[in-house]
A and B are shown apart, each in its own frame.
Chain A
């Protein structure tokens, strides 16, 4: 009967091998735990407290989805398959060893068919693992993608785990070569290698010597791996899942946390490691240095100094360097911003969220950057343009530095006048936004929007002069106080109005009104982006088109509509309804590539730049070939991409249109 034999081929001359095994495993584990604890305690002793252990069931589910199944790693095919091979291989071997241990001491389960399945599974995963390892070696030595950290530490880890697995394979094959059991084909990979040993013509004795030697080597390697895991690149095996478990649950992605306060009610600004939460410090240690965030980052692609990977590794390096010393509460912690992470790096971020979306271990880069920016703002460390814009926002409530009275000037030619939501009840309160109101090149799109709403028979009104910048990007720049002031003014204006829902033209406005503004009264009224509203109107038949436009178009998912709020399909249905054919760009849906205006970047000096994100995006669209229309759903996108079309010289090939313009044309 097929069964697992404890310590096959290992002599009992010097006592039961179990003693050595358990001794070394215990030793390795203790060293691992001690070292891990030394690292981990820095998180909660240096960092601020934060509750991240509520709703365990959701957290466990995330653990399965992201740490076991690893759906995020699988977003890219080659490294996805590669890592699944390595990781699932290891999960399986771990399980296998656990089962073997149970089989050894508690319950003989590995016998009969169970044993055969056990062997087959292990062998299959050995093959998957070795394929993964081969892919990894190829990637690290031949492909050498830029986003990876190509340092010896990683090679060392890869070598360690590969040797361990090879050890397992070799010992199995040597046993099979000697024993030649009837069920040997249930270990196909082992059987294959066994044939090679057999072919050497060696007798049992030398084969068993080899077996013993490799077995010992395997044991020592595992011990070594355990002992060095917390200080090597394999630490992510522990910190990754931990980071996933403790990931952000209490708020949607589009909502930033308010500024934390001390017990006395004083604000805490992220100037040193001590001001970050333990979870943010864990973020640093969980980073696998995969660099997917960096590859997705529009600032990095433009040649700005920001790399989300380096920001997180900066936190990690700071903790490694200063963590021990900071255990003493009296030691003054060095500054993060300006010293470990430069101001320029922090200001380059557009807060597009691509990094967060890509990260396989759910690191929260944007939150950390905004926290550090809040400190820079308090210190007044920003470029003069941003300063001027913030002062305008504070004084006039818009980023253009124009009087509030000019906000509704675009409505003058419209007859009959648009309803004033401050004076009469409306069904839809249209929160227009700064760019759609004040930018001279965009107001005709705003007028068309009003015409479309009228044609659809919508009962809508605007706030006229009472509207202020909603504050989304003010918050992302780190000026929390100004954000609160704008929010208070807008909320006050809204509370005096009677409406059923808010509709807005700008995804940034949409994000903050939906996710960050307090509920108005008892009920939270829905906030819609106009694409969602148009979609609803089309579906319910209230908006009809008289013609099919028949253009070939491509659609750019705005960061704050798509990635942050999951609205991908509504605009696409609207495009389809106008009779246009949609051709997707490679980077679409949550992989959409930011235009570069967000996070306050449109208010700052551009600085040194190699290729603007908007230009890269336009080139991507042009590459689609014969797709003459580039559709956007955000006024800032219109500005950024129209400029990019000019600066890349593509005026003949592609034209930028707002979704509303298509709808307007098809009416």
Chain B
């Protein structure tokens, strides 16, 4: 039994996901209070390089005290069955104080089932920890927070972004990598058939400097043209939150959110977007967020720099006209 905090690193097609760094930062906070190490757990195939060079070009290393590499061809791409079998083995053997997973498509496929299989307690939707071993989770669309002592003997935790910045989980020093034996992986019940690329679309919203983003408040597809005109006037592009894409009013390539793109534009103009956590986490790195929403209690106002409690339909055309006038067109 040790006081180490294990972090299950999430990576997809050669790139370490940002949540991994957030988890490392959270793990560091926990580890400080407990006196243990932050151990990055890297499952994959020939993926050891990710420890020291997470994505080609960024040059950031995992801010961990050490890296455990579990290498097997069946682990090359994430599949729940294989990863579960490997982690069950590892956690049973090592019995760390806590194992952190991302509250993501990868992490949530693993944590709960492991909790049952190993008989270990779990906490989900955790956004931060305190040095005295407490967790803070957010539920109900980010409106309610729950705090408690980190359960034992080994706590399985899924983490959401927002509590730590990715930079806090990055370091310039490449941690030591230890190979760990992987159990036999046969008759796997889940196998990867293929990846399907997202529709490329005409625009990569992650590269746009200005985004005019619409949420449920846009009410119907016909009104999107108002946002398009504003975006055009400003020299940016239109994006949207999940409800808008689910209705088919905008292409999937325009989705900003947990399942869509994370964006960091100069200006993110949120029209009629409530700011639920799944969306908020994807825009917090923007330079300036401006929120327009008639609901004063909308969570978006907590992350925006400027806001107006005004009907977007009253504002957009007037704003477009003023912007055009200012540009002299």
Contact = CB atoms under 8 A, between A and B. Distances in A.
Given A384-B247, A440-B294, A606 B222 contact: yes
Interface string A603-644: 001110000000000000000000000000000000000010
B311 A605 contact: no
Interface in A27-53: none
Contacts of B220: 385, 605-606
A605 B294 contact: no
A441 interface: yes
A385 B219 contact: yes
Given A605-B220, A607-B222, A441 B247 contact: no
Interface string B106-144: 000000000000000000000000000000000000000
B31 to A, nearest CB: 44
A229 B313 CA distance: 57
A643 to B, nearest CB: 8
B2 interface: no
A175 B296 CA distance: 91
Contacts of B313: 643
Interface string B185-225: 00000000000000000000000000000000001111000
Contact of B311 (A384, A441, A606, A607): A441
A385 B294 CA distance: 19
Interface residues of A, number: 9
Main secondary structure of the interface of B (DSSP, over half): loop
A655 to B, nearest CB: 16
Contacts, number: 14
B224 to A, nearest CB: 11
Interface in A579-611: 605-607
Most chain A CB within a 10 A radius of its CB, from B222, B294, B313: B222
Interface residues of B, number: 9
Contacts of B221: 605
Contacts of A441: 311
B325 to A, nearest CB: 16
B219 A440 contact: no
A607 B294 CA distance: 25
A295 to B, nearest CB: 26
A441 B219 CA distance: 17
Contacts of A384: 247
Contact of A440 (B222, B247, B311): B311
A148 to B, nearest CB: 33
Interface in A549-597: none
Interface in B239-273: 247
Nearest to B222: A606
A473 to B, nearest CB: 17
B247 to A, nearest CB: 6
Nearest to A606: B222
A441 B294 CA distance: 11
B294 to A, nearest CB: 6
Contacts of A605: 220-222
A653 B90 CA distance: 77
A605 B225 CA distance: 14
Most chain A CB within a 10 A radius of its CB, from B219, B220, B294, B313: B220
A441 B221 CA distance: 23
Contacts of B219: 385
A414 to B, nearest CB: 21
A577 B219 CA distance: 40
A118 B222 CA distance: 66
Nearest to B317: A646
14 contacts: A384-B247, A385-B219, A385-B220, A440-B294, A440-B311, A441-B311, A605-B220, A605-B221, A605-B222, A606-B220, A606-B222, A607-B222, A643-B313, A646-B317
Interface of A: 384-385, 440-441, 605-607, 643, 646
In the A-B complex, the 7 residue pairs with the smallest Cβ-Cβ separation, listed nearest first, are A605-B220, A606-B222, A385-B220, A384-B247, A440-B294, A605-B222, A605-B221
Given A384-B247, A385-B219, A440-B311, 10 more contacts: A385-B220, A440-B294, A605-B220, A605-B221, A605-B222, A606-B220, A606-B222, A607-B222, A643-B313, A646-B317
